[in-house]
Structure 1
Amino acid sequence: MTTQPLTLQPRRRGAPPQHLADLDMAARKDAVTGLGLPAFRARQLSHHYFGRQLSDVDAMSDLPAADRERIGGVLFPPLLTPVTQVSCDDGATRKTVWRLHDGSLVESVLMGYSDRTTVCVSSQAGCGMACPFCATGQAGLTRNLSTAEIVDQVVSAARTSREAGLGRLSNVVFMGMGEPLANYERVLRALRRLTDPAPDGLGMSQRSITVSTVGLVPAVRRLTAEELSVTLAVSLHAPDDELRDELVPVNNRWKVDEVLDAAWEYASRTGRRVSIEYAMIRDVNDQPWRADLLGRLLAGKLAHVNLIPLNPTPGSRWDASPKAVEREFVRRLRAAGVPTTVRDTRGSEIDGACGQLAATQEKAAATHGQAEVAE
């Protein structure tokens, strides 16, 4: 494992600055012509950012030197400043805590495999869903990220993947900090930027992108109407309403049957298999009867279960299920005809659970600030 030290920066207020990635091509042309530059510069800048993953205008050597400062100030303001970067798996797993313009912290994780390279990105600073076993949920919601703050995580990961020899970035999962569908409009625009053909966007396949939700039913139905082909992942974590009301508080508004009905509508419209995310929590949701109930709910549906060994947060009463219990859960689901896999537990030694590392840095910053006051 390698790590870079925390660098403290002052907290600033206000909305995130507008960035090239916030704009579609027509708006980019308006922006550059508003600077007194020819419209073709918009495609040129888009090629640099999306095609070459460049954010430093000084490295864009085909731009007139006299124009670079103006262009940088208007279309390439700094959005993400790395605070801490840690790695494991011989550099194949890399987690970054980013400081946003207002001092908020978010995380992204780059994971290189033999057949793909994936980045897990955040859509909010913190999360308002309040799931008690989740480090991000415990922190609460600070704010939504802008479209560009989301996209820039992916562009940065694509650049790092190339430079680190991990190959081309192939997959994006919206499973970092925050509830993506609670930041619907910005996440949708980010999906467009990631999948628009170059140079309008990164040119990624929609099928290589996964959007996770705890089950905001109206937003799932909205996403269904977009006729995208991204994978929908539902963070279910319990098959029965009594337990899910506790583990996923939004279940008090939309019950298990309603969430799954919306998921099946998405699968029917898109032809895409829904991923059912299920964190295995010792003596809480890992009983054999719950595996059987989940199997009955999913049997015959276009669904796949992704069991997640819980990465417990410090001081939490929640712990991971024993491996023998996990194997029995898998066996029962498969016996019901439900495809089931267990998620690779990468990153546990680098505060791999979502929100853990950012929470660690927030505490370090607070401790540092208290020490400065004491001095």
Structure 2
Amino acid sequence: MSVTLDLADPASRPRPAAGALSPLGAAGPGRPSLIGLDREGLAEALREIGVPEKQLRMRVGQLWHWLYVRGVSDFDRMANVAKDLRTRLADAYSIARPEMVDEQISVDGTRKWLFRFDAKGAGRPVEIETVYIPEEGRGTLCVSSQVGCTLTCTFCHTGTQRLVRNLTPDEILGQVLVARDRLGDFPDAATPAGAIVPSEGRLVTNVVMMGMGEPLYNFDNVKQALAVASDGEGVSLSKRRITLSTSGVVPMIPKTGAEMNVMLAISLHAVTDELRDVLVPINKKYPLDELLAACRAYPGLSNARRITFEYVMLKGVNDSLADARALVKLLRGIPAKINLIPFNPWPGSPYECSDWDQIERFADLVNEAGYASPIRTPRGRDIFAACGQLKSESERMKKTDRQALEAGV
């Protein structure tokens, strides 16, 4: 049985242990967040509240440690920061976590969180979903980059929710911080009630930008958030354990490799332009030959840094052995892994999952051609947390609100 906690109802919220942080707070109105700022940004924020130039480097180091090593979300817990400075910081800025309004726990241990953020031009508060998948020896956090999506991939539930707005660096990184809070994954932090405490090591070991939205349509914000997440003196996630998934925004792929240097995943799903135009409509703008040329030229590509190609298995659509042979031919010469994803159903979908025997035959053929071709075990289906199932209830941003946001109003 899956478990749901309605955290919008105060009576159902887990009560933190004495002295522990609650991850359920929201940034105060009118106070910008320090979360997601790089060191230069933190220095400028400190400069704005009167910290002397000669102290900036030390103070930035203190803030960085408290935010990303110790994981605090209350300035008063920064024990080695002077009380006067803590007060000035609290008056001017926020380090609170996103508001968690719902948590669902699958029978297989997968967790799905619904987070609520300020409107920021969207007309009303917006919501996104984030998923944590525990596995043997590791844990993967599936992070969202946008509220909704513009791409309308026909097999994806998220694609039925139109784009509301991009997430900001603090909102992207905030998903990682809340997950670590919730799982008891910050060292020396008091354990929140209901957390899973690791017996050894950390629980959030991998981050995949595979949640709601197309991350390459929010490049700058994603880049900034991942730079902080991968900084070796903070959250310290290895770039080899950060994967960005794109549906094929070809012009941004070389830039991703050069400036982010993370692992790349391509949402492929078809071996012909005719079918991919239907399943992944961005293919009409960036067809397969352009997409694969960009993959072959991806900076740092090697057998040790392979591109992952994601291929959802749709019964009678793209799952024949002829499709498997065409897939092998299509990817020839690209160091690659091919993730076969059993289709995860959602209400109103026109597709069915391929039969398991057919998925295994498809995988065997691809494996025999020399490509690793794991079949992704469906996780969190009972709470609609599986690949392609994420969707929140935020509405499309009005045109006037979007124009105001773009103008910085």
If the TM-score is normalised by the length of the shorter chain, which range does it land in? 0.7 to 0.9
Inter-partner Cα distance in structure 2 for 1:22 and 1:99? 17
Partner SS for 1:340 = coil
Q: Deviations over 1:88-121 (max 9, x none)?
A: 246x421101001121111111122221121110
Inter-partner Cα distance in structure 2 for 1:72 and 1:355? 39
Q: Which amino acid in structure 1 is aligned with residue 144 of structure 2? A: S
Unaligned runs of 5+ in 1: 9-14, 364-375
For residue 55 of structure 1, what is the aligned residue in structure 2? 73
After TM superposition, the structure 1 = structure 2 runs for residues 275-314 of structure 1, keeping only pairs within 5 Å, are 275-314=308-347
For residue 327 of structure 1, what is the aligned residue in structure 2? 360
Corresponding residue to 1:95 among 99, 108, 112: 112
- Aligned-residue sequence identity (percent) comes to 38
Confirm or deny: 8 A CA contact 1:121 1:150 kept in the other structure. yes
Partner SS for 2:297 = helix
Number of equivalent positions: 354
Inter-partner Cα distance in structure 2 for 1:146 and 1:174? 14
Q: Deviations over 1:302-344 (max 9, x none)?
A: 0010011111111211221110111111112112222100112
Inter-partner Cα distance in structure 2 for 1:98 and 1:16? 19
Q: Deviations over 1:122-181 (max 9, x none)?
A: 011111111111111110111111111111111222222324124412111000000111
For residue 37 of structure 2, what is the aligned residue in structure 1? 23
Confirm or deny: 8 A CA contact 1:299 1:336 kept in the other structure. no
- Pairing 1:184–2:219 present: yes
| TM-score normalized by the length of structure 1 | 0.87
Give the helix-richer structure, 1 or 2. Answer: 1
For residue 130 of structure 2, what is the aligned residue in structure 1? 108
Confirm or deny: 8 A CA contact 1:175 1:211 kept in the other structure. yes
Inter-partner Cα distance in structure 2 for 1:126 and 1:190? 19
Inter-partner Cα distance in structure 1 for 2:225 and 2:84? 31
Q: Which amino acid in structure 1 is aligned with residue 197 of structure 2? A: G
Residues 157 and 73 of structure 1, relative CA distance in 2, 3 Å threshold: farther
Q: Which amino acid in structure 1 is aligned with residue 178 of structure 2? A: S
For residue 253 of structure 1, what is the aligned residue in structure 2? 285
Inter-partner Cα distance in structure 2 for 1:17 and 1:337? 54
Q: Deviations over 1:237-276 (max 9, x none)?
A: 1011000000000000111121111111116556620000
Inter-partner Cα distance in structure 2 for 1:142 and 1:79? 21
Residues 73 and 171 of structure 1, relative CA distance in 2, 3 Å threshold: farther
Residues 24 and 336 of structure 1, relative CA distance in 2, 3 Å threshold: same
For residue 171 of structure 2, what is the aligned residue in structure 1? 149
Inter-partner Cα distance in structure 2 for 1:69 and 1:321? 59
Inter-partner Cα distance in structure 2 for 1:283 and 1:52? 51
| TM-score normalized by the length of structure 2 | 0.80
Q: Which amino acid in structure 2 is aligned with residue 145 of structure 1? A: L
Inter-partner Cα distance in structure 2 for 1:319 and 1:282? 6
Confirm or deny: 8 A CA contact 2:312 2:340 kept in the other structure. yes
Inter-partner Cα distance in structure 2 for 1:306 and 1:354? 12
After TM superposition, the structure 1 = structure 2 runs for residues 255-274 of structure 1, keeping only pairs within 5 Å, are 255-266=287-298, 269=301, 272-274=305-307
For residue 405 of structure 2, what is the aligned residue in structure 1? none
Residues 177 and 114 of structure 1, relative CA distance in 2, 3 Å threshold: same
Deviation at 1:26, TM superposition (A): 2.2
Corresponding residue to 1:220 among 240, 253, 270: 253
Inter-partner Cα distance in structure 1 for 2:263 and 2:79? 38
Residues 73 and 183 of structure 1, relative CA distance in 2, 3 Å threshold: farther
Q: Which amino acid in structure 2 is aligned with residue 144 of structure 1? A: N
Partner SS for 1:22 = coil
Comparing both chains, which one has the higher relative contact order based on Cα–Cα distances under 8 Å and sequence gaps of 6 or more?
A: 2
Q: Which amino acid in structure 2 is aligned with residue 160 of structure 1? A: R
Q: Which amino acid in structure 1 is aligned with residue 6 of structure 2? A: P
Inter-partner Cα distance in structure 1 for 2:388 and 2:276? 21
